[in-house]
């Protein structure tokens, strides 16, 4: 992307929505349909690769056409086009595209030509904005706005892939770490539950990975000590306790103490906890 100036956006973290334009010195040469695409010396295209992931989605979203009909339209336009597309035999192009229909999900999505009055107007676009440079000939500008979106898509899909792999690795590592900690834990389970794990869940920030990691550690640690029903009850109490509900807080405390008592096989404490839960439920 060295030949491109990003007027808006971060080249290291692409938005997935692109507006790219080329400056044209003269639009008097070239096919008539190309001349009509130039506005105030600018030839601009727009692509949405965040919401449109396949060629079929592009044709359906932009034109209300099926993949097959969209390909037919492209072929018909190529009959009157210029450059490489116009030089190809439309029947051969049709046969080649049809043979690739099953791989349409991997084909790059075209960018559509859009009118652009000025560079200042481009900055109002919600997404990345790229200036592709100055061209003396309209044909070269047309080549630039057709080819750059394909390169942009490649970088954006690669970015998505890397981010997805990172999220998968995080999800796989979190329970593994918690399970490893449980296997090697030798301290007092009750103290660890009430003074370490529970506060980390109740006071974790909701706007990051901290809350998810804390919840996973809490759930994984409790799972061997509680029945499935008790575990669901504990997790259901957490948002109520956060709101300051005293009764919910007392119940949560007793359920966690019961988990610790089960772990150490303390049946006397289990009976006392059972009675306390009954009193709490009856309001006495």
Query: Do both 87 and 217 map to the same domain?
Result: no
Query: Do both 77 and 112 map to the same domain?
Result: yes
Assess whether pLDDT exceeds 60 at residue 180.
no
Query: Is 179 contained in some domain?
Result: no
Query: Do both 135 and 190 map to the same domain?
Result: no
CB 23 within 8 A of CB 141: yes
Query: Do both 17 and 87 map to the same domain?
Result: yes
CB 175 within 8 A of CB 216: yes
Query: Do both 39 and 135 map to the same domain?
Result: yes
* Cβ-based neighbours of 227, under 8 Å, separated by 6 or more: none
Query: Is 157 contained in some domain?
Result: yes
Query: Do both 129 and 53 map to the same domain?
Result: yes
pLDDT at 178: 46
Q: Where does a domain end: 104, 129, 164?
A: 164
Query: Is 276 contained in some domain?
Result: yes
pTM here?
Answer: 0.49
Average pLDDT over residues 143-164: 87
Query: Is 178 contained in some domain?
Result: no
pLDDT in tens, 75-119: 565 555 444 444 445 565 555 555 544 444 556 788 889 999 899
Assess whether pLDDT exceeds 80 at residue 17.
yes
* Cβ-based neighbours of 5, under 8 Å, separated by 6 or more: 130, 131, 133
Q: Where does a domain end: 133, 164, 195?
A: 164
Query: Is 155 contained in some domain?
Result: yes
Query: Do both 81 and 194 map to the same domain?
Result: no
Assess whether pLDDT exceeds 90 at residue 130.
yes
Whole-angstrom Cα distance, residue 36 to residue 21? Answer: 15
Query: Do both 145 and 70 map to the same domain?
Result: yes
pLDDT in tens, 198-251: 888 887 766 566 677 778 888 888 877 777 788 888 888 888 888 888 888 888
75 compared with 19, residue with greater pLDDT: 19
Query: Is 39 contained in some domain?
Result: yes
Query: Is 191 contained in some domain?
Result: yes
Whole-angstrom Cα distance, residue 213 to residue 55? Answer: 38
pLDDT at 211: 75
Assess whether pLDDT exceeds 90 at residue 8.
yes
Instruction: Using a pLDDT cut of 90, give the percent of the chain over it.
Output: 19
pLDDT at 179: 45
Among 45-59, 65-79, 127-141, the least confident range: 65-79
Query: Do both 102 and 202 map to the same domain?
Result: no
Query: Do both 134 and 196 map to the same domain?
Result: no
pLDDT at 182: 47
Whole-angstrom Cα distance, residue 1 to residue 240? Answer: 51
Whole-angstrom Cα distance, residue 217 to residue 199? Answer: 12
pLDDT in tens, 115-129: 998 999 999 999 999
Average pLDDT over residues 142-161: 89
Q: Where does a domain end: 164, 195, 220?
A: 164
Assess whether pLDDT exceeds 70 at residue 164.
no
Query: Is 37 contained in some domain?
Result: yes
Query: Do both 38 and 128 map to the same domain?
Result: yes
Assess whether pLDDT exceeds 80 at residue 272.
yes
Query: Do both 77 and 122 map to the same domain?
Result: yes
Q: How many domains does the chain have?
A: 2
CA dist 52 → 62, 71, 132, 147, 159 (Å): 10, 17, 23, 18, 16
Binned at pLDDT 50, 70 and 90, residue 172 comes out as very low
Mean pLDDT estimate for the chain: 76
Q: Which residue segment(s) compose the domain that 212 sits in?
A: 185-282
pLDDT at 84: 40
Neighbours of 35 (CB within 10 A): 15
Q: Number of C-alpha atoms within 13 angstroms, CB side, residue 225? A: 24
């Amino acid at each position: 992307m060295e030949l491109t100036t990003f007027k808006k956006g971060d080249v290291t973290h692409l938005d997935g929505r692109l507006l790219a334009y080329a400056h044209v010195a003269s639009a008097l040469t070239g096919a008539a349909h190309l001349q009509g695409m130039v506005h105030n010396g600018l030839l601009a295209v727009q692509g949405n690769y965040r919401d449109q992931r396949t060629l079929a989605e592009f044709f359906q979203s932009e034109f209300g056409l099926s993949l097959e009909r969209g390909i037919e339209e492209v072929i018909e336009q190529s009959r009157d086009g210029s450059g490489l597309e116009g030089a190809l035999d439309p029947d051969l192009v049709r046969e080649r595209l049809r043979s690739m229909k099953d791989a349409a999900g991997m084909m790059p999505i075209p960018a559509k030509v859009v009118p652009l009055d000025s560079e200042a107007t481009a900055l109002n676009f919600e997404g990345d904005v790229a200036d592709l440079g100055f061209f003396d000939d309209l044909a070269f500008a047309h080549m630039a706005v057709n080819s750059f979106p394909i390169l942009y898509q490649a970088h954006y899909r690669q970015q998505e892939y890397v981010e997805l792999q990172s999220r998968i690795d995080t999800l796989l590592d979190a329970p593994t770490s918690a399970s490893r900690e449980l296997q090697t834990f030798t301290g007092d389970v009750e103290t660890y539950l009430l003074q370490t794990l529970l506060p980390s869940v109740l006071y974790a920030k909701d706007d990051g990975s901290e809350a998810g990691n804390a919840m996973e550690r809490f759930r994984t640690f409790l799972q061997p000590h509680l029945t499935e029903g008790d575990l669901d009850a504990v997790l259901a109490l957490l948002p109520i306790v956060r709101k300051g509900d005293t009764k919910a807080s007392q119940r949560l405390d007793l359920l966690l103490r019961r988990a610790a008592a089960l772990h150490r096989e303390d049946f006397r404490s289990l009976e006392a906890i059972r009675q306390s839960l009954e009193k709490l439920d009856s309001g006495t």
